[in-house]
Copies of this chain bind each other. A is one copy, B any other.
Amino acid sequence: MAETSGTSGNETLLFLTDDQLRKGIEAMFFAYRGFTADPDRILADKGYGRAHHRAIHFINRSPGTTVNNLLSILGVTKQSLNRVLRTLIEDGLVESRVGTRDKRERHLFLTEAGETLESELSTAQRKRMRAAFRQVGPDAVVGFRQVLEAMMDRDMHHHYARLREAGE
């Protein structure tokens, strides 16, 4: 969090041609496909989709999170998330506990089975990320993260930073 503070002086008048920018755009497109490819394969076997993966990931990251909190992270409607959550709960991967302080809220947890799937998915995804990071070296990794952070919307960066706090 220290190194990304503000627009600190590096407004080095860069000549960025449309070509350079377009390469970045296309790289982003093709890389994202690779990024999701391994989890997608695993999920397809079990009858789930990418939406299930996202839910599982962020429930694992913040056990006990509420549906509403999850909604603002995922940026979908509650109705859309609800469908996914319902199947995960029915299948025994996620547990939904009614809030004690506020009974309107549902707090979400992964069951053991849920943690097993989460582990399988994130292991596959980390494996690819690790290979890429190793291939290019630590400086490139820093640059990678800097650009991605600069590309996020403000509120997404907020969620990203809050998750980082917790994990660090």
Interface residues of A (CB under 8 A from B): 7, 10-12, 14, 16, 18-35, 37, 54, 75, 122, 125-126, 128-153, 156-157, 159-160, 163-164, 167-168
| Chain B residues whose C-beta falls within 8 Å of the C-beta of A138 in the assembled complex | 12, 14
Q: How long is the Cα–Cα vector from A12 to B21 in the complex, in angstroms?
A: 29
Q: Residue on B with the closest CB to A153?
A: B34
Are A133 and B21 in contact, CB atoms less than 8 angstroms apart? yes
| Chain B residues whose C-beta falls within 8 Å of the C-beta of A75 in the assembled complex | 33
Are B152 and A33 in contact, CB atoms less than 8 angstroms apart? yes
Are A34 and B147 in contact, CB atoms less than 8 angstroms apart? no
Say yes or no: A134-B22 contact (C-beta < 8 A), given A37-B153, A145-B27: no
Q: How long is the Cα–Cα vector from A24 to B122 in the complex, in angstroms?
A: 12
Are B129 and A136 in contact, CB atoms less than 8 angstroms apart? no
| Chain B residues whose C-beta falls within 8 Å of the C-beta of A151 in the assembled complex | 31, 34-35, 128-129, 132
Q: How long is the Cα–Cα vector from A129 to B54 in the complex, in angstroms?
A: 25
Q: How long is the Cα–Cα vector from A18 to B168 in the complex, in angstroms?
A: 11
